[in-house]
Each structure stands twice: as structure tokens, then as C-alpha cells.
Amino acid sequence: MSKNFVLITSQKEKLRITTYGYENAGTVPCIILVHGFKGFKDWGFGPYIGKYLSENGFFVITFNFSHNGVGNSLTEFTELDKFANNTFSLEFNELNEIISAYLNGNFCNVNNKNIGLLGHSRGGAISIITGCKNNSVNAVATWASVSNLDRYSEIQKVRWREKGVFEVLNTRTNQVMKLNVSLLEDIEKNGEDNLNIKKSVKNLNKPFLIAHGKQDLAVPFEEAENIFEWADKKLTEFYPIESTGHTFNIQHPFKGSNQKFDILLNKTAEFFKSNLIRK
């Protein structure tokens, strides 16, 4: 059973939320799904993940970051002005507010406080950083995560400042999506500390699953190898996936799953069962 919520953050921003497995909410561990850049909770595999994990014994929270560009339509980028003003620090803060909202009973009465984060792509990086800094997080799994949030050349940065925006083409929708200089300033201000993925991985100190497609063209497989190199091998599982890319051959709109994606989902569910369900 799914149930929708709207959470108003401390900054008066609106987070649109869909939960799965609501019939067991508060009595089973909670997994929070964290979408990536140009992602949203209802993209392709989002609802499928929510249903799958809820059927495997978890309460699942999926949500849209307030500045991901998707508004009331839930599936279209209609808030490009907000998308332009997004920052990594804002996403970090909002994920922490989701965690606090769950523990404070905003969604249900909570008797089970075990929480796992599942982040895809840039959402993987936000999950790693949050998992490192938030003691309420018990385990972290990343799919196709970036290993560095500073992904821009010096030439790109100079032009970004000169123009005032950095333009990104969404090849699916053919929309030109702009990023304001505030994102670059966030990287430069916090990149060595609060937004440093290498440092966060080294200090994570909790169960960690790294999954990555070996034919990922958006985030090279080498980034997963970097993350694994930094991680505590006693607490970390590394799961390379042959012959698959950034979204594991899943499309939007969703056209069905595939064998490799279902194996990945099962692997992820088993990881969380091992580390969140107390025997």
C-alpha cells in the first residue's frame, strides 16, 4: 500500500513524498530512495523499487528534492527556475529533514528506527555524505554513484561565471536546463570538507553496498572503483554489473524490468536485510 505526503521544510520548501509498504510503517526498517541529477521519485524504476522493497519487508520513502525541477505534474520539468537554484548543500539538508521527519513520527508511529539510504547517481553521493554525518543512518547503498561532485573543468567554470549560468541539455525532453553560479559557489566553499565524497567514504564506518554498471557512460565505472578503494573493506560490498549502463537498462516511462535489474534489486534487498533487520 502506498501513501503520499507533502513535507514543508525548515526553509519553507515543499518535498513531495510517496511511501510504500505503509501497512507496515514504523514496525519495519525504513529505506529512503534518493534520486539523482535530472531524476525524480516517479522516474522509470522509482515506483518499481518502492514496491519491490516494501514487499521484501521495508517501509520505503521516495521523494523529490525541492529544487529538482519537477513540480505538481510529478513527471515533467516545470520548475526550471528552482532547478537552476539548486545546490548540493540544499539536497543534503533536505535529506536530513526527511530522516528527522520519519523519526519524529511525521509519517507514522515509529517503533523501528533502523534506516537505510539507497542513492542513485548524484543521489548516491548525497547518501554517502549524509550517511557519514547522520548517526541515525544505519546502512548505505549506492547505485552508479559519482565519486566527485566537482565535475567541471576550469574553462567551464570561467564561462559559467561569465555567463551567469551553466546549461545542460536534457536529451530525453530536449529541454535546456540551467544551473546558476550558486551551485559552483557551493562546490568551491564546501568541496574540501562537507561535500568531500572521499572523506565521507573514509569516515562512513557503517555497512556500505556499491553497485555500478561496467558500461556506464554517464558515470564511468572507475568512479565506483575509486569509492571502493576509499571504503572500509570489512564493511563494504562491491557489486560490478556486466553489460549494463547508468540506469541498468531501465527506461522512462517505465517499460518493465529485466533480469540484471531484478538481480540488483534482490542484492540490495538482501544487503539491507542483513544490516537493518535485527535477528
200, 128 contact by CB (below 8 A): yes
Average pLDDT of the residues in 142-154: 97
pLDDT band at 243 (very low <50, low <70, confident <90, very high): very high
pLDDT band at 189 (very low <50, low <70, confident <90, very high): very high
- Residue position matching grid coordinates 522509470: 44
- Residue position matching grid coordinates 539536497: 91
How does the average pLDDT of the chain come out, rounded? Answer: 97
CATH numbers and ranges of domains, the chain: 2-276 (3.40.50.1820)
Question: Phi and psi at residue 133, in whole multiples of 5°?
Answer: -95, -20
218: exposed, middle or buried (Cβ count in 10 Å: 0-12, 13-18, 19+): middle
| CA distance to 30, 113, 163, 212, 272, per residue, from 247 (Å) | 23, 30, 32, 9, 20
pLDDT band at 279 (very low <50, low <70, confident <90, very high): very low
CA-to-CA distance for 240 and 18, rounded, in angstroms?
29
Average pLDDT of the residues in 26-53: 98
pLDDT exceeds cutoff 80 at 173: yes
| Residue 89: other Cβ atoms inside 10 A | 18
pLDDT reported for residue 158: 98
Q: What is the pLDDT of residues 82-123, one digit of tens each?
A: 999 999 999 999 999 999 999 999 999 999 999 999 999 999
pLDDT exceeds cutoff 60 at 272: yes
pLDDT reported for residue 22: 97
pLDDT reported for residue 115: 98
Higher pLDDT, 137 or 278: 137
* H helix runs in the chain, sequence order: 46-55, 80-84, 88-103, 122-133, 154-163, 181-190, 197-202, 221-230, 259-276
pLDDT band at 192 (very low <50, low <70, confident <90, very high): very high
Residue 206 DSSP symbol: S
pLDDT exceeds cutoff 70 at 162: yes
CA-to-CA distance for 76 and 253, rounded, in angstroms?
11
